[in-house]
Amino acid sequence: MALVACGLNANSQITPAGPPLLCCPTPVRDKKDVCEVHIACSHILWKTNAGWQITGYRNLDYSLEEEMAQRWKISMSEMRMAAINDDGAVVLREKGQWRKLFFQRDTAMDSRNLGPSVQQVEDQDRIAESENGKMYSIGVPLPYGGSRISVVEVGKEHCMALTTDGVVLTWGSGIDSKVEEIRTNEQSGNDHKASLEGTGDCRTDPRINKGRAKDVVNVQTSPRLLDFWNEDMAIIDVKGGDRHTLYQLEDGSVWSTGMNKYGQLGLGDTAERNEPCLVPVTGVRTMFAGGWISVFIATDTSGR
């Protein structure tokens, strides 16, 4: 397996020997047997066969295996780490110490559908969870009457959901297409040419729905169907970073869209994208997005 990553590396959170921005998917040679990744802007938590390891933040690179069991469910934000421990309790790690959290339930709601969740304590303004195929945001059921929800991913300012029949829903903060148009026009001819050469012109890719209307909005407050791809393409995985999103299609290809200031889209530049572009990685088994970083676990030794 190969570990490949791109995005912000200013605190050596991805690799200690590298530039502050990794705009192309880059093999990470110093992390072995990684099977799970949790990402914040300035640090990454890696789960390996040997235990948990944190890198980047305040230039730390140390093991947490004595504090955290591998089977714990973990979620992480910039200032804290939350976990469901062996006893089923939610614990929070702040300033190097763990403390147990206690929940007060709303007796007016069905407690069977609203159990403790790591996402509930990570960041109160970005709560999203899936219970029994239903979606909740801050304890309120979200209005979606389609298929059951199989996966929910949350970013800092947006959320994504994947249904059992491959439909992707999204809500929260978005990117205004007018801003992207202005910034694109400010690029030099060479920069624009390099951008297209590095990622391929996705507008002519047969997998892209060419008839899709340009109706990007800044904030989408309720789940909304995405129709980036043609009907014969299905999405098998979706991951949300702070302001960028990764998609994996059934043909194994990986696509990215959103903010790209730190190269987190893996497209060889730092230009924002309003529609998905093909990421030059192959053989991806698992992908992770968070903060301003994207990580891929792939079968290809080069990741490209």
For 2-103+114-298, the fitting CATH number among 3.30.1950.10, 2.60.40.10, 2.130.10.30, 1.25.40.10 is 2.130.10.30
DSSP string, 215-274: ---SEEEEEEE---B-TT--EEEEEE-SSEEEEEETTS-EEEEE--TTSTT-SSS---EE
Residue 33 CA to residue 51 CA, distance in Å, equals: 10
pLDDT given at position 225: 80
Q: Are 8 and 264 in contact (CB under 8 A)?
A: yes
pLDDT given at position 249: 94
Q: Which of 288, 282, 279 is nearest to 300 (CA)?
A: 282
- For residue 26 the two structure tokens come to 């880059």
pLDDT given at position 75: 81
Residue 14 CA to residue 21 CA, distance in Å, equals: 10
pLDDT given at position 283: 94
pLDDT given at position 141: 64
Non-local (6+) Cβ contacts of 178 within 8 A are none
- For residue 65 the two structure tokens come to 């295996």
pLDDT given at position 1: 81
pTM above 0.85, yes or no: no
pLDDT given at position 163: 79
Give the Å distances, CA to CA, from 176 to 170, 172, 216, 217, 219: 15, 13, 6, 6, 9
Mean pLDDT by 10 residues, the chain (304 residues): 92 88 90 88 88 80 82 83 83 84 53 44 45 60 68 68 79 49 33 40 81 70 80 89 93 94 96 92 94 91 55
Q: Are 169 and 160 in contact (CB under 8 A)?
A: yes
